[in-house]
Structure 1
Amino acid sequence: MLDVHEHITDAVKTPALVRLAPNVVLIRFETLKVYAALGALRHLLDTGAIRPGQTVVDSSSGIYALALAMACHRYGLRCHIVASTTVDDATRAQLEILGATVDQMPPSDDLRLDQNRRVARVRELLAREPGLHWMRQYHDPVHHLGYAELAELLRHALPGARLAVVGSVGTGASTGGLIRALRRHDPGVRLVGVQPFGSVTFGSERFTDPDAIIAGIGSAIPFDNVHHDLYDQVHWLDFQHAMAATVALVRDHAVFAGLSTGAAHLVASWEARNTPDRTHLVIGADTGHRYTQRVFTRHREALDPTGLAPLVISDLGDLAMPWSTMEWARRGVRVPAQERRRKDAVL
Structure 2
Amino acid sequence: MYRSFAEKLAEPDLIDLGNGIHVLRFEVMKVTSVRAAVRDLLDREVVRPGQTVVDSSSGIYGHALALVCREFGLKCHIFASVAVDAAIRTQLKYLGATYTQVPSSGDDGLQHDQETRVRLVHTYLEENPDAYWMQQYHDDVHYIGYESVANTLVKELGSTGVTLVGGVGTGASTSAMSRYLRASGNDVRVAGIQPFGSRSFGSEAIPLDGFIIAGIGSGIRFANIDYTAYDDIHWINFDVSAAGCRHLLSTTGVFAGLSAGAGWQVARHIRRQEPDGGPVVFLAADPGHRYVDRVFPPDGPLVQDPEYRPRTISELSRMTGPWSTMHWARRPYDVQDDLPVVPVVPSSPRNAA
Q: Report the TM-score range of the alignment, normalised by the length of the smaller protein.
A: over 0.9
**For 2:343 and 2:278, how far apart are their aligned partners in 1?**
40
Deviation at 1:83, TM superposition (A): 0.8
CA contact (8 A) 2:85 2:290 kept: yes
User: How many pairs were matched up?
Assistant: 342
Structure 2, unpaired ranges of 5+? 347-353
- Structure 2 length normalisation: TM-score? 0.92
The AA in structure 2 aligned to 1:333 is Y
**For 1:59 and 1:264, how far apart are their aligned partners in 2?**
25
1:203 corresponds in structure 2 to: 202
Deviation at 1:209, TM superposition (A): 3.7
Tell me which of 23, 38, 55 is aligned to 1:26.
23
1:304 corresponds in structure 2 to: 305
Do the aligned partners of residues 346 and 207 (structure 1) sit closer, same or farther apart at CA in structure 2, a change above 3 Å counting? farther
1:153 corresponds in structure 2 to: 152
Deviation at 1:187, TM superposition (A): 4.5
Q: Residues 229-273 of structure 1: CA distance to partner in whole angstroms, max 9, x if unpaired? A: 110000011111011001111111111100000001101110122
User: What is the percent sequence identity of the aligned residues?
Assistant: 44
**For 2:249 and 2:345, how far apart are their aligned partners in 1?**
39
User: What secondary structure sits across from 2:7 in the alignment?
Assistant: helix
- Structure 1 length normalisation: TM-score? 0.94
2:34 corresponds in structure 1 to: 37
Q: How does 1:239-318 map to 2 (within 5 A)?
A: 239-275=238-274, 276-297=276-297, 300=301, 304-305=305-306, 307-318=307-318
Do the aligned partners of residues 202 and 322 (structure 1) sit closer, same or farther apart at CA in structure 2, a change above 3 Å counting? same
1:127 corresponds in structure 2 to: 126
CA contact (8 A) 2:33 2:146 kept: yes
CA contact (8 A) 2:138 2:344 kept: no
Q: Residues 69-113 of structure 1: CA distance to partner in whole angstroms, max 9, x if unpaired? A: 111111111111111111000100001100101111113322322
User: What secondary structure sits across from 2:215 in the alignment?
Assistant: coil
Tell me which of 12, 15, 36 is aligned to 1:15.
12
**For 1:202 and 1:300, how far apart are their aligned partners in 2?**
36
Q: Residues 171-225 of structure 1: CA distance to partner in whole angstroms, max 9, x if unpaired? A: 1111111110011112520110001111111111111143353421111112111
Q: Residues 22-41 of structure 1: CA distance to partner in whole angstroms, max 9, x if unpaired? A: 21101101011111101111
Structure 1, unpaired ranges of 5+? none
1:57 corresponds in structure 2 to: 54
**For 2:303 and 2:103, how far apart are their aligned partners in 1?**
30
RMSD after superposition: 1.9
User: What secondary structure sits across from 2:216 in the alignment?
Assistant: coil
Q: Residues 111-166 of structure 1: CA distance to partner in whole angstroms, max 9, x if unpaired? A: 32221221122112111110000001000111111111111122112234521110
**For 1:302 and 1:71, how far apart are their aligned partners in 2?**
41
CA contact (8 A) 2:115 2:342 kept: no
Do the aligned partners of residues 125 and 191 (structure 1) sit closer, same or farther apart at CA in structure 2, a change above 3 Å counting? same
